[in-house]
Amino acid sequence: MRVVVNSRFLTQPMTGVQQYGLKLSNYLKENFTGEIEFVAPKGIIHHKASERLGVKTIGNTRGFFWEQVELPFWLKKEGSPLLLNFGNVAPQYYTNQIVTIHDLSTLEHPEWFSSKFARAYKFMIPQVVQSAKKLITVSEFTKQRMVELLKVDETKVEVIYNSLEFNQVDPVKNEAEPYLLSVGSFSGRKNFSTLIKAFQEADLLGVQLKIRGDTEDIFRGDDELYAMVKADARICFIEPLDYSAYMELVKNAIALINTSIYEGFGMPNLEALSLGTPVICSNIEVFNEICGPYATYVHPLDKEGITQLLREVTSKNHTETERKKLKERSKVFKTEVEGKKLVDLISICNIT
């Protein structure tokens, strides 16, 4: 049983998609008993992770061309082993593969992306989904959207959730200036403009709003949004941090605020729950799936409702018992549980 993992994600900034691929790759490295090989193009930027996995660099190109041309050519020379892809795209015409689709935002909301990016995904995703042996997605919500929008047989799709590892050192709690936290790129789906307006209207004395994220060239800019951030000293935009510093930021927040309009999962919500940090989030279907009754929900475009919840959460002292309940919810999403699902799925693919 030979499996090849498409490790192109190690050439990309470490956002949620790349973290998903890395966690499951680490699990496979430690627990998969068959033959497994991790391959990537040139340009790896996560060197420690690459060394840990023993990644092999193949080909002479990078990015899209490597994935669509050099990788499948190399696979065919190697006898067409099972290919495992974690990052939304995969070789278009290679059939012996498992493909992960994190969400269908490029198909359902192309206006949030550059026209070139949206067109490419509109062409590729339906073809890859139909030709792949099996599909992975990160929530029941996205699975149902795939079934409805792409007409995929639901038995072809396996839900393998984003997950957490619970053997990490708990971040330090400090008594810095109080702040609310929101996480994500400046993309239309994140709906930061509504959150910022609600925060300004709430007029919270001595409380900051920190937004942690990065901008991507594929996302359309929002000049008005940037202007709003710069005009208010209480709003702080934080560049990407390493994971331990990021989790410390989450733990020390009064609450995590996630007013996204559309998501495939909601990893910041889960990370906040795991640290006992209260979550206020949109009442979209996938957030209800992930957080259950352990978050406070609001319509993402209800500015007045968000304003009221910001006032309430900043005036309340959450007890350790309440925080413990939040942490317990997050333990449903364990890497070892989701990793075992992946191993079982690989076994099925190698039998059929």
The CATH number covering residue 13 comes to: 3.40.50.2000
CA distance 91 to 152: 18
CA distance 287 to 156: 24
- Min mean pLDDT across 81-95, 148-162, 226-240, 249-263 is at 226-240
In terms of phi and psi (left: phi > 0; alpha: psi -120 to 50; beta: otherwise), the region of 206 is left
**Residue 301 sits in the same domain as residue 345:** no
**Residue 107 sits in the same domain as residue 64:** yes
Question: Contact, 259 vs 306, CB < 8 A?
Answer: yes
**Residue 338 sits in the same domain as residue 318:** no
CA distance 35 to 52: 16
**Residue 69 sits in the same domain as residue 146:** yes
Question: Contact, 218 vs 114, CB < 8 A?
Answer: yes
192-224 tens-digit pLDDT: 889 999 999 999 999 999 998 754 433 345 666
292-325 tens-digit pLDDT: 999 999 999 999 999 999 999 999 888 899 999 9
State the pTM of this model.
Answer: 0.91
State the residue range of the domain holding 54.
2-163+334-351
Predicted confidence (pLDDT) at residue 151 exceeds the cutoff of 60: yes
**Residue 239 sits in the same domain as residue 340:** no
**Residue 339 sits in the same domain as residue 325:** no
2-31 tens-digit pLDDT: 999 999 999 998 888 999 999 999 999 999
Return the closest-CA partner of residue 16 out of 163, 230, 200.
163
**Residue 82 sits in the same domain as residue 146:** yes
**Residue 186 sits in the same domain as residue 206:** yes
Residue 261 within a domain: yes
**What pLDDT score does 219 carry?**
37
Residue 170 within a domain: no
**Residue 256 sits in the same domain as residue 321:** yes
Residue 174 within a domain: no
Question: Contact, 350 vs 1, CB < 8 A?
Answer: yes
Exposed / middle / buried, residue 238 (Cβ in 10 Å: 0-12, 13-18, 19+): middle
**Residue 347 sits in the same domain as residue 204:** no
**What pLDDT score does 217 carry?**
33
Looking at the DSSP bridge assignments, the partners of residue 134 are: 98
Residue 250 within a domain: yes
**What pLDDT score does 185 carry?**
72
Residue 173 within a domain: no
**Residue 121 sits in the same domain as residue 9:** yes
Length of the chain: 352
Domain count along the chain = 2
Identify residue 40 by its one-letter amino acid code. A
223-275 tens-digit pLDDT: 666 677 778 889 988 877 788 899 999 999 999 999 999 999 999 999 999 99
